[in-house]
């Protein structure tokens, strides 16, 4: 332990802590902007400067290590003047259209202005002006609002190892951009949206799809169906003042019905369907010498990352579409026929925790007989905005169920939203199908948790099946490189593009850097899904009565010709850069 004084208070913290961490432990708040726990700690913004007794210059608390006996002042007059001057200089080159910014009232720059008492713009002068990059189907980049914190660069390069953005030029001309000034759409960007989640301001945002959805709802000639991914229920409540990790499934279903959608369904049904198809695919490969390991294909950010960086693993990918694409295909075939609805007039909206789903739904492969599986994708954040625009008092809504006939998804479908969830859902079904007996305990603790890479071995039919789970593309890269080198061997791999899985996807409510210092957001949101799983009566995908009926009446069996026509797809190699 290291002993120091902060503002005259004796503090004892572990060796290796920074002054920022030590102050936090002592209940002292130091403002930050470029710092983001586990992502960025460059000390470049200078908002966290503190005074160290005996040192001539102010030091950045986020990178300055504690040392025995040092004395720190976090809010001296000198420190406060420096911070305020720095903030005013940042504002001098910032597009200050706060009222029309998507991050209004959830902006770290705005919060700093309030905290430090900035009431006027001290420095007015030349401002850089940039064209908005909105060519990507998923992400809009507006450098006019960029504060050069470099958090987006750190998460793209160091966490996700995609590395398509970086700082360019020098001095006043410094900006964040892509090589050769290309738009994001012309790079190997995987659309994961982690840059959006990392951004403290409105310089990065999702491509808005709400107008398209409102137009469809208003069109009397369209039959508009909405489906919501499992992770949405674990985070939507945050937009309405609920604590992080509060499941709001019932209120969400009630809100969707009041917004004007003709039907509101749960994508968890698509997740149960995915387990049936993907589980069958794995068993077929295990029993018939197919390409192993089988790698899950639910995460479109991971799929595009694989297409760009690991084309030699494309044959290992499951041919299954992701759950919402599967479900969209079922709605426009089986459900449309059953209800007597012209599928050409059906408009399917997916509410996703993920901005990569916007790219995925537009892929040319995601259609059947000329009909797109999904017509529009909106994020959790966009749904929250639409609920507010509808004048719905979310917190006062009664809990309601999703609509028939797809209201009975299972606990296995729910946990798809967190890392390890797809694997656990698959194992629940595979074990019972292979062993021909019920599980004593449906929870598989070995595949749970937020470690970057997890491993487990499960015995199925007398054979050991080696399993690996990775979340975050940096961890995916480590895992695949270990397989390429021959160091590791597995039969089944689950990969999620986003750290923590879908619960912390690029379309989820954005938390501040201060929130991440105090709360493990991915763990809290995962708890919400596990809680819902535990309260459900049916917790295994193969026991979902609606899915059983679907196979009896339409699909025949998992892996059938009809299933392959509607629910499976293929992928292709893309340029590395």
Instruction: Give CA separation, 183 vs 6, 123, 150, 189, 409, in Å.
Output: 46, 31, 18, 10, 40
- Exposed, middle or buried, 490 (CB in 10 Å: 0-12/13-18/19+)? buried
Please, are residues 34 and 150 in contact by the beta-carbon 8 Å criterion? yes
> 462: left (phi > 0), else alpha (psi -120 to 50), else beta?
left
Q: Name the residue among 194, 153, 245, 159 with its Cα closest to residue 452.
A: 159
For 272, how many CA atoms within 13 A lie in the half-sphere containing its CB? Answer: 29
Cβ(198)–Cβ(40) below 8 Å: yes
Match 């911070």 to its residue by tokens: 83
Cβ neighbors of 367 (< 8 A, separation 6 or more) are: 373
Name the DSSP letter for residue 57. S
H or E segment to which residue 210 belongs? helix 210-218
Pairing of strands 139-141, 9-13: unpaired
Phi-psi region of 193 (alpha: psi -120 to 50; beta: other; left: phi over 0): left
- Tokens matching residue 559: 């892996």
Q: How far apart are CA 251 and CA 268, in angstroms?
A: 17
DSSP output for 271-319? HHHHHHHHHHHHHHHHHHT--SSEE----HHHHHHHHHH-GGGGGGB--
Please tell me the distance from the alpha carbon of residue 176 to that of residue 146, in angstroms, as a whole number: 8
Cβ atoms of 358 and 206 within 8 Å: the answer is yes
Enumerate the active-site residues: 278, 281, 298, 318, 357, 360, 365, 502
Q: Strand 223-228's sheet: what is its strand order?
A: 263-266, 223-228, 346-352, 376-379
Residue given tokens 């639409």 in the structure block: 386
Backbone angles phi, psi at 528, to 5 degrees: -60, -40
Tell me the H-state helices in 407-556: 411-414, 421-435, 473-484, 513-518, 521-535, 545-550
């Amino acid at each position: 332990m290291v002993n120091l004084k902060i503002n005259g208070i004796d503090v004892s913290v572990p060796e290796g802590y920074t002054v920022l961490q030590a102050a936090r432990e002592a209940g002292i708040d130091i403002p930050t902007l470029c710092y983001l726990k586990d992502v960025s700690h460059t000390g470049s913004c200078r908002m966290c400067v503190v005074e160290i007794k005996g040192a001539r210059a102010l030091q950045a608390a986020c990178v300055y290590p504690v040392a025995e006996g040092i004395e720190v002042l976090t809010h001296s007059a000198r420190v406060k003047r420096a911070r305020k001057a720095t903030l005013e200089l940042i504002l001098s080159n910032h597009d200050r259209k706060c009222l029309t910014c998507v991050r209004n009232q959830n902006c770290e720059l705005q919060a700093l202005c309030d905290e430090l008492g900035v009431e006027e713009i001290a420095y007015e002068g030349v401002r850089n002006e940039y064209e908005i990059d909105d060519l990507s189907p998923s992400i809009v980049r507006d450098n006019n609002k960029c504060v050069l914190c470099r958090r987006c660069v750190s998460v793209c390069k160091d966490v996700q190892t995609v590395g398509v953005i970086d700082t360019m030029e020098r001095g006043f001309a410094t900006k964040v951009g892509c090589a050769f000034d290309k738009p994001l759409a012309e790079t190997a960007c995987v659309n994961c949206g982690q840059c959006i989640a990392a951004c403290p301001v409105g310089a990065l945002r999702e491509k808005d799809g709400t107008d398209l959805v409102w137009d469809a709802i208003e069109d009397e000639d369209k039959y508009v169906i909405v489906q919501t991914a499992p992770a949405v229920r674990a985070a939507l409540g945050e937009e309405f003042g609920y604590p992080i990790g509060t499941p709001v499934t019932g209120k969400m279903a009630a809100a969707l019905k009041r917004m004007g959608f003709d039907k509101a369904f749960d994508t968890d049904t698509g997740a149960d369907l995915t387990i049936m198809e993907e589980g069958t695919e794995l068993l077929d490969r295990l029993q018939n010498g197919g390409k192993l390991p089988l790698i899950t294909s639910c995460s479109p950010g991971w799929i595009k990352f694989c297409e760009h960086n690991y084309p030699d693993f494309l044959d290992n990918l499951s041919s299954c579409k992701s759950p919402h694409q599967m479900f969209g295909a079922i709605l426009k075939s089986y459900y449309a026929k059953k209800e007597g609805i012209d599928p050409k007039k059906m408009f399917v909206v997916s509410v996703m925790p993920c901005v990569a789903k916007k790219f995925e739904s537009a892929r040319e492969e995601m259609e059947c007989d000329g009909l797109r599986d999904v017509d529009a994708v909106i994020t959790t954040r966009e749904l929250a905005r639409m609920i507010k625009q509808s004048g719905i008092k979310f917190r006062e809504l009664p809990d309601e169920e999703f609509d028939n006939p797809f209201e009975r998804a299972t606990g296995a479908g729910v946990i798809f939203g967190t890392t390890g969830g797809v694997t656990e859902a698959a194992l629940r079904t595979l074990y019972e199908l292979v062993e021909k007996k019920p599980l004593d305990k449906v929870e598989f603790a070995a595949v749970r948790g937020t470690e970057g890479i997890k491993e487990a071995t499960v015995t199925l039919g007398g054979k050991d099946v080696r399993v690996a789970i990775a979340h975050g593309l940096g961890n995916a890269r480590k895992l695949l490189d270990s397989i390429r080198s021959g160091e590791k061997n597995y039969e089944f791999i689950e990969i999620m593009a986003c750290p923590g899985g879908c619960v912390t996807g690029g379309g989820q409510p954005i938390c501040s850097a201060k929130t991440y210092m105090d709360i493990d957001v991915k763990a809290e949101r995962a708890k919400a899904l596990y809680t819902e799983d535990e309260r459900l009566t049916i917790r295994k995908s193969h026991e979902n009565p609606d899915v059983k009926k679907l196979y009896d009446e339409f699909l025949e069996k998992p892996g059938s010709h009809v299933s392959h026509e509607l629910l499976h797809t293929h992928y292709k190699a893309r340029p590395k850069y």
